[in-house]
Structure 1
Amino acid sequence: MLVKDAAARLYESSTVSLKNSNNCIAKEASERLVGPAITECAPLHVLVVDDDQQMRTACCHVLAQKGAHVSEAGTLAEGEMLLQNQKVDLLLLDLKLPDGGGLALLEKAKVLYPDTAVVVMTAYATVSSAVEAMRIGARDYLTKPFALEELTAVLKSAGQRVHFDRESRLLREKLRSQTNTDGLVGRSSEMQKLYRILSKVAFSTHPVLILGESGTGKEVVARSIHFNGPNVAKPFVQVDCSSPFPIWIESELFGHVRGAFPGADCAKEGLLASVSGGTVFLDEIGALPLDLQSRLLRALQEKEVRPMGGTQARPISARVLAATNRNLAAMVEQGKFRKDLFFRLNVVNLKMPALRERRDDIPLLVVHFMAKAEKEAGVERTVSDEALRALVKYDWPGNVRELENAIERAWVLSNGLTLNLDDLPISLQDLEVPLREELTIEPAVETIAQPDYKSSSSNSGHIVPIAEMEKQAILGTIRMLNGDKILAAKLLGIGKTTLYRKLKEYGVSDEFEGPILSVS
C-alpha cells in the first residue's frame, strides 16, 4: 500500500479504516507510526510542513490520534508564521516547498527553539543536503520514496528523544538546588530497596557484607551505615585487604609488639582494638590470605585480639563491615575462602546494583557530579541533551566511578558552559557514530551489471569488486530475514535510509516483501 494512497483515503473519509493490498488495517500502521512513547509524558507540539495536502493531512491525523497537538503548513511562509507564534517540539519538514527551501525553515526553528526535534524528508536527496540538514540540527533524514516502516521508526524515535530531553532538563533544574546525603544518589527501585535495608542495619551492631562490581559505591554504603548510626562520633577506618603485603594487613588489624618482625621498632595497637565503638571497613575482603582469614574469624568470635608477637589479648568492640567484588560463595566452594568466616560476615548481605541495571539514576548522578565540579571550580555548567543521551545509553563497565571520571574529563576538556558529546570519552562518542557515518557511505561504482550471486572470491579466479560484495551482502541478508529491511539494516550496521537508497540504486527493491513506497 502506498503512503500516498493512505493519505488520500484519510483525507477523503477522515477515518483510519484503510486496508492495504494484504488486507491489513491501516490503523495498526498508524499506531506504529508514533508509538506509545508520544503519550508517556506531556503532549508533544508537532508542526507538519509539506506542500502535499494529502500527505500532510494523513500525518496530522495519525499524530493527533496519538495525543499530540498538531499544526500544519503547506508553504515556507506559513511554517515561519506558525513557528513565530508557538513552541514546537517536533517538526516534520519537507525540504522542497513552493516558496523556498526547507533548510531555511529548519535553521529558523533551531534558532527559535534549539531543543526542537526535526525530521527532514525530501524527494531530491543528495549527500550535501543531508549533511547540511544534520549540521543545522535535523535528527533524521528521510529520502522519498520511503517505506511506511521507516517513517514509523523515525517519528517514534524522534518522539522518544523529545520526551527524554524534556524530562532530563526538568530533572536537572529540579535537582540543581537539592543536596544529597552520604553520597548515595538514586531513586530507582533497586536503590529504594537498598535505602530500606540501610535504615535498619545502621542501628545494629551486626557485621554487614557488601557485594557488587567495582565502582558501584560499596565504600559509600559502608560510610552511610556508620555515619547514620548511633556511633557517628566514633572513628571510621578502612583497611585494604588486597594489599600485596600481608604483614602490613596483619599489623593494621591486630597490631604488633616491638621486635615482632624486622622493622618493628615500636609497638602498634591494631585497629580492631583501638577503634573502640567505631567501624572497621574491610575493603576487598575476598583478597584476604587464608591464614589471616583464620585470625580474623577468631577475633570476631572471641571478641578479642592479640597483637603480633604479643601474649596479652585486647578486647574489641569495633563493628566490622566488609566488601568485595568477588563471588565469595564460589570461593568457598573452591576452598579459597573460609566457609565459617563467610557465614560470620554474611549476617546482613547488601547487593549493590550495577549502574546499567539502574539507568534511570544516571541523570541524577550526572547532576550530582556536575554540582560537585561546579563547587570546586566556581563555574556553573550544564550537559547537552545529546551528551546526556549517550551517558544513559552507555553500559558503564566501571559503574558509578567510571561515570564520575567521565564527567570530570568532560569538565576539563570543555571550552564552554555546556558539556557536549565531543567532550566525553571516545567509548561514549562511538555510540553516535553509526548515525553520522550513514551520511557518508557512497557506492564504489555507479552501476553494476547482472551480478552472479553464486560466485565468490574463494571459488573463482577473478577479483570481486567491493561494490559487488557490498551488494551481495545487502541482498543476501534481506533474503535471509524474509524481506525484513529494518532488521537487515541493524544487522548490517548501516542506517535505514542508507539501505533503502542502496536498494533503489540496485533497482531490485521489488524483489522483497514490503516494496519501497512512494509519497509523491
Structure 2
Amino acid sequence: MLDTVLQQPAMDFVPQSTEHLQGQEAPRQRARVHLLVVDTDAAVRSACAEIASSLGYAVQSTADLNQARSLIRGHAADVLLVNLPYGGYQALELVSEVKLLYPGTAVIAMTASSSVNAAVEAMRRGAADYLTKPFAVDELSAVLERAASTLSIDAESRQLRERLRLSQGLGSMIGRSAEMEKLYRILSKVAQSTHPVLVLGESGTGKELVARTIHAYGPNAFKPFLPVDCGSLVPTLIESELFGYVKGAFTGANKSKDGLFVTAEGGTVFLDEVGELTLDLQAKLLRALQEKEVRPVGATHRVPIKARIVAATNRDLAAMVEKGSFRKDLFYRLNVVNLRLPPLRERREDIPLLTAHFLDRISKGKARKYTLSDDALRTMIKYDWPGNVRELENCIERACALSSGPVLELGDMPTQLQQQGLEAHRVAAAEPQQAEHPADVIPLAEMEKQAILGAIRKLNGDKLMAARLLGIGKTTLYRKLKEYGIQDPMLDE
C-alpha cells in the first residue's frame, strides 16, 4: 500500500488543513528524532509519516508552509522532509530560512521528476539530500536513516524541550544559550529522581517555573504541586501550612487540617524563599525530611509523608550557614542537588527570543502585531536587567500599553532603559569618528553591517527575505545599504 502511494505521480498544490501525526514507539534503542513532513498531498504525508514512525521517528506533518515555520520555531523538527512543487519558490524560501536559523536541522527535498532543478537549488541552499517522485519505500527509508545518522542528539534534553513546548504553563522557559541548554540537560536528569532539589538564582530568574518543570517531567507529575512562599507568611502560619493542625490547636482552629506535606500525597512541595525560615522552623523541617513524618500543630501523634521537596532562594545559603542564620544540617539535606539559574545579563543572546515570545503573546490578546524598533532592541540587549526575566516581561507589557502604534520605540520603555539609550547616543556622539578600536573589538555599526551583508549573501541576494529574518523592515534594510554605499551586496566589498 505504501509503495503504491509513494510511487503515484505528485498531485497539484491543493491547500489543506494542518494535521499532526504522532510518532509511535521506536523499535530501535536510539534517541527519538523529530521529523516534520511538509507536502500538500495528504496520501504522501500519511505514507511518509508511517514509514518514518516505523523507523523510530517522532513525526508531525502539515500541508501549510506557514504552519511548518511555526512548528520549526517550536523546535519540533530535527529533520525536515519538504515537497518542492513545480515553481515552488516559497518552499525553497523555507529551506533557506531553516538552514539560516537552525543549521543543525537536516533538510530533505522531495520533487517531481519534471522539476529536478528545484532539488538542485534546494541542495545549493543547504538541503542534505533529495528524493525524486515517485520513489520507493526503501529509498525513503535509506534517506531518513542517513539523516538520522548525521544528527548529534541529546535524547533527554530533547524530550524535556518537547515537553516544555507542549505543556501548558511551561512554555515561558525559553532560551537557546549555552547556559539554558546546560540547564535543560540537568533538569532532564534531576526530574527523574525524588531527591530534594535546591534552586538558586536572583529574583525574577524563574525559580518556580523550574520547580514546576521538575514536577511536571517527573514520575509523579499527575500528583499535586503545592507552592508555599516562606517569605510572605508569619512563622506560625508557615508551620500550620506545612505540617497541619488539629482542632483546638489555636484560636480559630475549628477543625483539623492536613498540612501541605500530607496533602501532596507523593507530589511536590515547593518551598520558595526557604532562606527566610526561622531557626525553629528550620529544625522542624529538618526533622520532617529526616524522619519522613510530621507532627501537626497541637497534636501528639505523627503523620507519615511522601512529598518531594524542591526549595528555592535568592539568598546565599552557604554564607548564611557561616553566619549561623541557616542550619548547616538542613542546608546539606536540601542541597542534595542544586541548580543555579543564570541571570538574564549572563544570557543576553536569549533576550530577542524572550522579547519575541512576550510580544507574540500580547499581540494575540490585542489583535495587533507588535514589533520592536532597532534602537529599542539594541538598548534592551545592553541593559543588565536586575529584575531578570520578570522585569523584561513587565517592560514589554508597559511598552505595549503606552505605544501609539505597532512599533515599540525606546521612548515607550521604562525610564531606566531610556536613560541608558540616551547615554549610549551621547557617548557615541562625543567619540571622535576616527577613534581607534582595539584589534579584538568590533564597532557595533560594523557588526550590524556584516550581519546585513552576510544574511543577503547567504540568501543569494534576496533582500526581502534577509530583512524578514533579521527582524527589520525592508525600508530600513535599503536605507542601511545606501548608507554603506553598496549597490550590489553580492559583489561590493
Structure-2-length-normalised TM-score? 0.53
Deviation, 1:270, is 0.3
Tell me, in whole angstroms, the C-alpha distance in 1 between the residues paired with 2:427 and 2:334. 54
1:197 has 2:186 as partner: yes
1:208 has 2:197 as partner: yes
Tell me: CA distance 1:388–1:291, structure 2 relative to 1, closer, same or farther (3 Å).
same
Aligned with residue 266 of structure 2, among 257, 277, 281: 277
Tell me, in whole angstroms, the C-alpha distance in 1 between the residues paired with 2:179 and 2:435. 38
Tell me: CA distance 1:332–1:436, structure 2 relative to 1, closer, same or farther (3 Å).
closer
Deviation, 1:233, is 1.2
SS of aligned partner of 2:289: helix
Aligned with residue 261 of structure 1, among 246, 250, 259: 250
Equivalent position of 1:313 in the other structure: 302
Structure 2 unaligned residues grouped into runs of 5+: 1-96, 103-163, 438-493
Tell me, in whole angstroms, the C-alpha distance in 2 between the residues paired with 1:439 and 1:307. 64
Tell me: CA distance 1:440–1:191, structure 2 relative to 1, closer, same or farther (3 Å).
closer
1:360 has 2:360 as partner: no
Structure 1 unaligned residues grouped into runs of 5+: 1-166, 173-177, 442-473, 479-483, 488-520
Deviation, 1:313, is 1.2
Equivalent position of 2:15 in the other structure: none
Tell me, in whole angstroms, the C-alpha distance in 2 between the residues paired with 1:266 and 1:402. 42
SS of aligned partner of 1:362: helix
Equivalent position of 1:219 in the other structure: 208
Amino acid at match of 2:403: S
Amino acid at match of 1:260: A
Deviations 1:349-395 (A, max 9, x none): 10000100010111111011112212332322111221111110100
Q: Is the 8 A contact 1:171 1:363 kept in 2?
A: no
Tell me, in whole angstroms, the C-alpha distance in 1 between the residues paired with 2:230 and 2:380. 32
SS of aligned partner of 1:281: strand
Equivalent position of 1:377 in the other structure: 366
Tell me, in whole angstroms, the C-alpha distance in 1 between the residues paired with 2:300 and 2:427. 75
Aligned with residue 239 of structure 1, among 207, 223, 228: 228
Deviations 1:60-88 (A, max 9, x none): xxxxxxxxxxxxxxxxxxxxxxxxxxxxx
Tell me, in whole angstroms, the C-alpha distance in 2 between the residues paired with 1:309 and 1:232. 32
SS of aligned partner of 1:186: coil
Equivalent position of 1:333 in the other structure: 322
1:304 has 2:293 as partner: yes
Tell me: CA distance 1:333–1:275, structure 2 relative to 1, closer, same or farther (3 Å).
same
Tell me, in whole angstroms, the C-alpha distance in 1 between the residues paired with 2:332 and 2:225. 23
Tell me, in whole angstroms, the C-alpha distance in 1 between the residues paired with 2:415 and 2:264. 45
Aligned with residue 344 of structure 1, among 333, 347, 351: 333
Tell me, in whole angstroms, the C-alpha distance in 2 between the residues paired with 1:256 and 1:232. 27
Amino acid at match of 2:184: Y
Tell me, in whole angstroms, the C-alpha distance in 1 between the residues paired with 2:393 and 2:182. 23
Aligned pair count reads 274
SS of aligned partner of 1:405: helix
Amino acid at match of 1:303: K
Tell me: CA distance 1:379–1:485, structure 2 relative to 1, closer, same or farther (3 Å).
closer
Percent of paired sites with the same residue: 61
Tell me, in whole angstroms, the C-alpha distance in 2 between the residues paired with 1:438 and 1:293. 51
Query: Which has the greater radius of gyration?
Result: 1
Tell me: CA distance 1:238–1:201, structure 2 relative to 1, closer, same or farther (3 Å).
same
SS of aligned partner of 1:277: coil
Deviations 1:232-260 (A, max 9, x none): 11111101111241111001000011111
Tell me, in whole angstroms, the C-alpha distance in 2 between the residues paired with 1:240 and 1:222. 13
Q: Is the 8 A contact 2:244 2:258 kept in 1?
A: yes
Tell me, in whole angstroms, the C-alpha distance in 2 between the residues paired with 1:188 and 1:439. 29
Tell me, in whole angstroms, the C-alpha distance in 1 between the residues paired with 2:385 and 2:276. 24
SS of aligned partner of 2:247: coil
Aligned with residue 281 of structure 2, among 292, 295, 300: 292
1:409 has 2:386 as partner: no
SS of aligned partner of 2:368: coil
Tell me: CA distance 1:359–1:261, structure 2 relative to 1, closer, same or farther (3 Å).
same
Q: Is the 8 A contact 1:215 1:400 kept in 2?
A: yes
Q: Is the 8 A contact 2:410 2:421 kept in 1?
A: no
Deviation, 1:271, is 0.5
Tell me: CA distance 1:315–1:421, structure 2 relative to 1, closer, same or farther (3 Å).
same
Amino acid at match of 1:370: L
Q: Is the 8 A contact 1:171 1:364 kept in 2?
A: no
Tell me: CA distance 1:439–1:232, structure 2 relative to 1, closer, same or farther (3 Å).
closer
Tell me, in whole angstroms, the C-alpha distance in 2 between the residues paired with 1:179 and 1:295. 38
Amino acid at match of 1:407: I
Deviation, 1:432, is 2.3
Please say which of residues 368-377 and 236-245 is displaced more in the overlay: 368-377
Tell me: CA distance 1:371–1:440, structure 2 relative to 1, closer, same or farther (3 Å).
closer
Equivalent position of 1:160 in the other structure: none
Deviations 1:312-341 (A, max 9, x none): 211111110000000000100110001010
Tell me, in whole angstroms, the C-alpha distance in 1 between the residues paired with 2:233 and 2:436. 53
Deviations 1:143-173 (A, max 9, x none): xxxxxxxxxxxxxxxxxxxxxxxx9xx879x
Q: Is the 8 A contact 1:243 1:249 kept in 2?
A: no
Tell me, in whole angstroms, the C-alpha distance in 1 between the residues paired with 2:254 and 2:263. 19
SS of aligned partner of 1:353: coil
Q: Is the 8 A contact 2:399 2:408 kept in 1?
A: yes
Equivalent position of 2:28 in the other structure: none
Tell me, in whole angstroms, the C-alpha distance in 2 between the residues paired with 1:363 and 1:285. 32
Give 4+ residue runs of structure 1 displaced > 6 Å after superposition: 438-441, 484-487
Q: Is the 8 A contact 2:270 2:310 kept in 1?
A: yes
Structure-1-length-normalised TM-score? 0.50
Deviation, 1:306, is 1.0
Tell me, in whole angstroms, the C-alpha distance in 2 between the residues paired with 1:313 and 1:388. 57
Equivalent position of 1:396 in the other structure: 385
Equivalent position of 1:249 in the other structure: 238
Tell me, in whole angstroms, the C-alpha distance in 1 between the residues paired with 2:380 and 2:428. 24
